[in-house]
Amino acid sequence: MGKFSKIKKYSKPSLSVDEKIDKLNKELKKTGMLSEIANSTSGVYTITQYTEPVPAVPPTLSDVPDISGITGNGFTQNDNTGDNTGYNDTSQLFNNNLGGNPTPIIQTPAETPAGGVGVVWHDVTLNGTAVGYIGPGNVFHQVLNPSIAGGTELNPDDPGYYGGNYYTERPLRSAYSAAYQSVYNVPGTYITWQCWLPYNPYGFGALYSEYTGIKKQDGNGAVFGLANVIVGIRPNKYTSNPGSPAQPGYTVVLTQNRLGDPNYFPGPVQPLGDVAGLGPLEVQTMLNIIRGTPGTPDAQRARDTLNRWAKPGSKNRDNLIKMGVLEQASAGGNMGDIAQVTPSATGSGRMPYGTPGGETMPGAIRGYRDSGGKVIDFDNPATWPSIKNQVKGA
């Protein structure tokens, strides 16, 4: 107990702690942090602007414009030469006006290799139906195999597809299986088209050397025969408008002011029609803005704020009307009228507070004469009514 009493009575400073505090203060002064912490109120008054969030706009998909008429009625394929070098024209299947690359006019899965077009099928096989697309040179490329049992191997995981390209081509097979089933045997969704098929004697019914129909051989030795295929003609889709991602709302700091800053204007931070109670400092600040920057947007905003703050019929509003800051309800908006008032003038008159050019008018006193005959001069603050005494809850 005795030791505790001694500790309570001990009042000498701790040299080690005091020395550390002094050292810290010296370091803070060197960096300028101490004066900022002790003396600055920068950022206390902050005016911000909030931007509302913008919802995402999804992309717009539209039909590829049909410039050849292939999706309509009465379509005719372009004439070809009829010899072994002809029948290579596929221009009727594409629209060349939608960007740098030709765009398929007819339904074409997105997985189709570049230059390919359409959902195409034929029965020039040993048995069943082969499904694929038309590639460059008007050559048919098979994607789905014909089935020995008839029809097409529509299952992309069918064992018949196992091989070196099984995994890389599986998405392509899946896409064509779905697209083919959407148009197969649906009236009005397909037409006949002539193109080159890789030659097989089972489908064409003869060996290549014995075949008398139109045929050809390319530079690599591959042989082809011309045949009719079925082409789906549902319109292809393209992104006519990419849309836009969602934008979150955000706040931007417009200004930051310290306490007592005469340039601080509290008006913009108040919601329109809901101005909080203003004290003498804020009212005086706005009066200074109106007087010091007449005719500017800042002056008008200050006047609007005071107009919302001083309720009709209040003493504060009456004082602001007398000072020329606000107008009587029946004044007809004559804030810009200039009324010269001199000490010898009779009756009452005023020059609106902050009227541009008023200070240069000969003999003009920027103020008003109250009902008792006293001249209130705006350029002489000593004659002003006491704001501190007059500002009350509006």
Could you tell me which of 89, 93, 98, 101 has the C-alpha nearest to residue 119? 93
Could you tell me which of 204, 223, 220, 202 has the C-alpha nearest to residue 212? 204
DSSP-assigned letter for residue 287: H
pLDDT grade for 17, boundaries at 50, 70 and 90 = low
pLDDT over 60 at 44, yes or no? no
Average pLDDT for 251-266: 60
Three-state DSSP class for 288? helix
Computed over every residue of the chain, the mean pLDDT equals 75
Tell me which of 164 and 28 has the higher pLDDT: 164
Tell me which of 131 and 287 has the higher pLDDT: 131
Q: How far is CA 72 from the centre of its chain?
A: 39
Tokens, residue 94: 């594409």
| Phi and psi angles of residue 148, each rounded to the nearest 5 degrees, phi first | -60, -30
Beta strands 130-135 and 190-198 are unpaired
Strand-pairing partners, residue 45, are 257
| CA–CA gap between residue 26 and residue 192 (Å, rounded) | 92
pLDDT over 50 at 340, yes or no? no
Tell me which of 192 and 17 has the higher pLDDT: 192
Predicted local confidence at residue 246, as pLDDT? 93
Could you tell me which of 324, 319, 322, 347 has the C-alpha nearest to residue 334? 324
Predicted local confidence at residue 391, as pLDDT? 47
pLDDT grade for 86, boundaries at 50, 70 and 90 = low
pLDDT over 60 at 90, yes or no? yes
Predicted local confidence at residue 359, as pLDDT? 45
pLDDT over 50 at 343, yes or no? no
Tokens, residue 317: 């509003």
Predicted local confidence at residue 14, as pLDDT? 56
Predicted local confidence at residue 344, as pLDDT? 35
Could you tell me which of 309, 327, 325, 326 has the C-alpha nearest to residue 393? 309
pLDDT over 80 at 80, yes or no? no
pLDDT over 90 at 232, yes or no? yes
Tens-digit pLDDT profile for residues 60-76: 999 999 999 999 888 88
Tens-digit pLDDT profile for residues 123-181: 999 999 999 999 999 999 999 999 988 899 999 998 889 888 888 899 999 999 999 99
| CA–CA gap between residue 116 and residue 133 (Å, rounded) | 6
pLDDT over 50 at 211, yes or no? yes
Predicted local confidence at residue 184, as pLDDT? 83
pLDDT over 90 at 368, yes or no? no
pLDDT grade for 314, boundaries at 50, 70 and 90 = confident
Predicted local confidence at residue 318, as pLDDT? 80
CB 290 within 8 A of CB 354: yes
CB under 8 A, 24+ apart: contacts of 147-156? 152/121, 152/128, 152/180, 154/180, 154/181
| CA–CA gap between residue 225 and residue 205 (Å, rounded) | 11
Average pLDDT for 73-102: 81
Average pLDDT for 101-117: 94
Integer CA distances (angstroms), 301 to 35, 49, 360, in order: 34, 16, 25
Please tell me the number of Cα atoms within 13 Å of 251 on its side-chain side.
6
Integer CA distances (angstroms), 91 to 27, 188, 227, in order: 79, 22, 18
Helices (H), the chain: 2-9, 15-31, 33-39, 166-183, 201-204, 280-292, 297-309, 315-322, 387-390
Tens-digit pLDDT profile for residues 288-307: 888 888 888 888 888 888 88
**What is the rounded (10 degree) CA torsion for 108, 112, 114, 115?**
-50
pLDDT grade for 39, boundaries at 50, 70 and 90 = low
